Amino acid sequence: MGRIFEVRKSTMFARWDRMAKQFTRIGKEIAIAVKAGGPDPATNPALRRCFANAKGVGMPKDRVEAAIKRAQGKDMTNYEEVIYEGYAPHGIAVLVETATDNPTRTVANVRMHFRKGDGSLGTSGSVAFTFHRMGEFKIKNEGQDLEELELDMIDHGLQEIGEDEEGNIVLRTEYDDFGTMAKALEDKGITPISSELTRIPTTTVELPEEQAKEVLELVDRLEQDEDVQKVYHNLK
């Protein structure tokens, strides 16, 4: 009985940690969106996207409202979006998106994570070409006909359609068509579970299980950093 409780407790804490990280990430995205386009979601598409993502991860409404108020306050934190590039063990390309109020601290931490994970921090442009920036929308699978949905959305910039591991429908567009697709879904009364700009590797590398584990340990180390928003890699 004690052992089962310990396992459950460990799983529960891990889930709380993930939620806390997601809430922090979205809070920073809200701050950046409000600073760039104001606090009114009706005129700020980026903020509307933040709202949808907050709902998708179960972020409480009061935390969303608090993040908006903080972004409007005199003592608001000014976050700078900085991208770092490097290599994980075995030559796997890694791209790290951050939102930071202290780039000096962030680059030192990112460099440390790469070093401790047997990787190396590279220069700007060293691996960015390995990834294709796209818009990605996830919507709940309610038995929709994927072929019909594809035909409906192809004129709005749809490039790829499929399902993720959880069975949600995934729609991808070119970076420049992100707003067009968001508007098309809104016009059709479809509320995405999440919508974001993402980076898809143009080629992937397959590694043996033990080597892949080393890569994922570095990715996990980076993702746990408070300044890191997203980590992309080309491990298959």
Q: Where in the chain is the domain with CATH 3.30.70.980?
A: 79-236
107, with CB counted inside 10 A (0-12, 13-18, 19+), is middle
pLDDT for 8 equals 43
pLDDT tens profile 178-212: 999 999 999 999 999 999 999 999 999 999 999 99
CATH superfamily of domain region 2-72: Integrase, N-terminal zinc-binding domain (1.10.10.200)
Q: Where in the chain is the domain with CATH 1.10.10.200?
A: 2-72
pLDDT for 11 equals 39
Contact (CB, 8 A) for 87 and 119 = yes
pLDDT for 17 equals 61
How far apart (Å, rounded) are the C-alpha atoms in residues 39 and 24?
18
Please, which pLDDT band fits residue 74 given cuts at 50, 70 and 90? confident
pLDDT for 234 equals 97
Return the percentage of the chain with pLDDT > 70, whole number: 93
Q: How confident is the prediction for the chain on average, in pLDDT?
A: 91
What pairs with residue 196 in β-bridges? 136
When pLDDT is averaged across residues 81-100 and rounded to a whole number, the result is: 98
Q: What is this structure's pTM? A: 0.86
How far apart (Å, rounded) are the C-alpha atoms in residues 223 and 97?
10
Four-residue CA torsion sign, 159, 161, 165, 168? positive
CATH class of 79-236: alpha beta
When pLDDT is averaged across residues 26-39 and rounded to a whole number, the result is: 94
Strands (E) located in 47-152: 80-87, 93-100, 120-121, 131-139
Please, which pLDDT band fits residue 13 given cuts at 50, 70 and 90? very low
